[in-house]
Amino acid sequence: MLERLFQKIFVSIVPADQGHEVLTVALKKNKILYKERRHFEGSEPSTSMNRYIQEVVDVSPIYYISTLNVNSHQGAYEGCLRKGKTQHNDDRQISEICRDKKWTFYASLDELHALTYEYSTVGLDFIFSPFSILEYTFADKVKDGFALYAFSMPGLFTIAIFDAGILEYAHHYSYQKTTDVQDESAEASSLDFTSPTVENYDDDGLINLDDIEGLEDLDIIDDLDSLSDIDDLDELEEVHEFSEDMPTSEEKRLSKENSFLIKGEMDNSAEDYQRFTYIQKTLNQFYSMEACRNRFVETVCIADSQGGSEELKRYLEEELFLNVLVRKIDVLETINALAILEEEGL
């Protein structure tokens, strides 16, 4: 009944360089009444941003505020497990959500609590995973065929390999932009989690904040202070592709020279080169696994929020002989679209 009388307000928030991007969409009877995009300065949610969001949601009792989890400690794995308690091997607890009873994405509870606290002034209804962005963008592709899918935005690169809707491999790279892409210490790859099991799961494509305890019970301030002490994440170990023999010194030298050549020709784009090497690493890692079963990825689909991916596409095609599809996406629009889908399912 309320839906007939009031408009629905959807607000998406994404941290950006030197600030936050906010998109507001108002709907009534599935028709867009208005759409507004704003930028707010500051690495932390500012008073002006919080005031703006409060003003736009005050016009209706039906509103949803969403953001994207851009933190390091998250990932995905095949299957859905229902028993036991999932923890990282350094005792970091995580939250897991099963998708279509086929695959699961997970995230650090500490980082989810930190996000909740960061936006506590306005409140969050949904925290979406980068894997949700990837799945939504390529909904027409994921269910069919065998391919590598990637979602790219400044500071993160999320990769998943699907075969006919079955998740075969996934990795989330979260990193700081640097002018020297050879400095591997700048990369903060997600840690390898122990084989996860979970007592309860939700089939929705989001992390529902109802599953997180109240902030007053979390000792959240103490927890946030400890977040700055998280050690640098381990790098992926070197994987030797297609051969049981160790590469010779000459092969290593030629490979290194070729990498530097590619880097130099990529219009001096450090981030493009990072994304290129992440795809290389992921393929090498997948090919080294028993789950590979002598299959080779021929197609790569990239959800690109940054633009300027022509060089990346060209080098993936020319150097790795891949078929590459790039789809330009708006992250804020995608988050609101996901929130609308979740609201419809409530």
pLDDT in tens, 67-92: 999 999 999 999 997 543 444 455 57
Flag whether pLDDT at 345 surpasses 60.
yes
Phi-psi region of 308 (alpha: psi -120 to 50; beta: other; left: phi over 0): left
pLDDT in tens, 89-148: 555 799 999 998 899 999 999 999 999 999 999 999 999 999 999 999 999 999 988 999
pLDDT number for residue 200: 39
The amino acid at 55? E
H or E segment and range at residue 285: helix 270-287
pLDDT in tens, 177-228: 543 444 443 343 333 433 333 333 344 445 555 444 443 443 433 443 433 3
Task: Find all residues with CB under 8 Å of 258, minimum gap 6, and list them.
Answer: 319
pLDDT in tens, 269-288: 678 888 999 999 999 999 99
Q: What percent of the chain has pLDDT over 90?
A: 58
pLDDT in tens, 33-68: 999 999 999 989 999 999 999 999 999 999 999 999
CA 147 to chain centre: 18
pLDDT, mean over the chain: 78
* Length reported for the chain: 346
Q: Which two tokens stand for residue 194?
A: 């122990």
